[in-house]
A and B are shown apart, each in its own frame.
Chain A
Amino acid sequence: MLTILFDGVAYGMLLFVLAIGLSVTLGLMNFINLAHGAFAMAGGYVTVLLMRHYGVPFLLCVPIAFVVTAAMGAVLERILYRAMYDKPALDQVLFSIGLAFIAVTIVDYSIGSSEQIIQLPQWLRGRTELVFGDHVLAMGHYRLLIIAVCIALTFVLQYILTRTRFGSRLRAAVDDQRVADGLGINVNVIFLSTFAVGSGLAGVGGALGSEVLGLDPTFPFKFMIYFLIVVAIGGTSSLSGPLLASLILGIADVTGKYYMPKLGSFIVYAVMIVILLWRPEGLFVKRGAR
């Protein structure tokens, strides 16, 4: 039971890192980016390729994945996304779906459609067991790593948002873009860097997740629904919202599969619909937010 909880938390934290970029992008630019999963996939494939062909150690691959996908995000934001901000939601959705299609087929064409497998370093493959009376808590080292990295990232993000100039400018732009612009905040730069960081985080999530979630060209669409659920439930105006939403989702999914394997993903969708019906604006909405 405890182990399942642990696994659920790990899964949830992974979802958080994957989805937070999407949440911020949506909150900031009001842009529904369904291609977010493609950035995650890119991070995963960068890791696989580096490890397999250049023997780069796994731990190094993760920050490299961040940098590469952030760069990709920055470039795409500038040349493609920026023109789409004022377009209606339908156009944005279809545009991002189109991007995702392109990404998926490019990967399929160049690397192939089979699932990519990475070999973790030996020290990440073990597990530690703690016994509390009747209950055993078995913590896989890899999942411990995921939780550790994600917690660290959360603190970093929180710090940036609340303690830095950039963070306050970002929050200003999220609250009211026009006024922020009027105050002399360079909204374009904020958009660019936020998008880049969001994509970079997705890349990190993809790199970390390829071991646990499986990596193949269908990744963006397989997990898109999970990211969207996190954002829809957690809202787009805070960090804690998506964090809690991811944790709920991760734990629900893993526990559901343990106790009722036949129902599988059904539980996740049902939870989502129930929550959205109860609170259509998401669980954690600031007063007056969009």
Chain B
Amino acid sequence: MNRRKFIQLCSQACIGAALSPGLANAAEPDDKRRLQFMFAQIKYRGGDWNPHPLSVTPLMEELMARTSVEAASARREVTLADNDLFNYPFLYLAGRYEFEPFTADEIETLRRFLTYGGFLLIDDALGQQGYGFDKSVRREMQRIFPGNEFKRLPPGHAALRSYYLLRRIGGVRIVNPNLEGINVGTATPVIYCQNDLGGAWERDQVGKWINTCTPGGEPQRKDAFHLGINVILYAMTENYKEDLIHVPFIRKRLTR
């Protein structure tokens, strides 16, 4: 046994010793745990801000089961006028229909939020390009970042590699096989999915999926969860996966 092998065995033994408290910790209720992540959903005026009320908990459970992030299992509902909005650097904006324009204060708040490190995931539950929710989203984003339009995220974008190496964009339906985003500097603080991610995440009280994913079925739902996790980790680590130390590993795996 060489030194390296010995140290690895010692390390594994140590990991085993550390598992028990970790498992116990995960079973604790939110108020007993130190939460690192809170899924905050924006409530807005008009339209339907809450198309999938039961979508967040399954995603949070998945997040905690797959990653080291300690997340609150329930979502936090916020308005853009809330004083504690900046306590939640990750915001989720979902809907089906057109909604009322944000006020000037709300626009300024969201601009500061997104410019100085906050993140916004937009999820279109209707899936009609140029209509309904999509129309309102594009209008409001133009007000927040005039002249800075949505652009398709390239396949190598850090959000698509922050945890899973994503090749497909999931959701209830595949309206757009790509994600769109708004870039500010080297970051993409706004990511927009038109495939109804929330619908794919949503599960009822007895654990049954509420919406069927078409045409890909369960693998497509899995892709939606993977995307949800990737986007959250991207928000918390930004372009960490573009650091040089990761590049050769990722390239190697993608070429297999």
Q: Do A and B come from one complex?
A: no
Interface of B toward A, CB cutoff 8 Å: none
Residue numbers of A with Cβ under 8 A of B are none
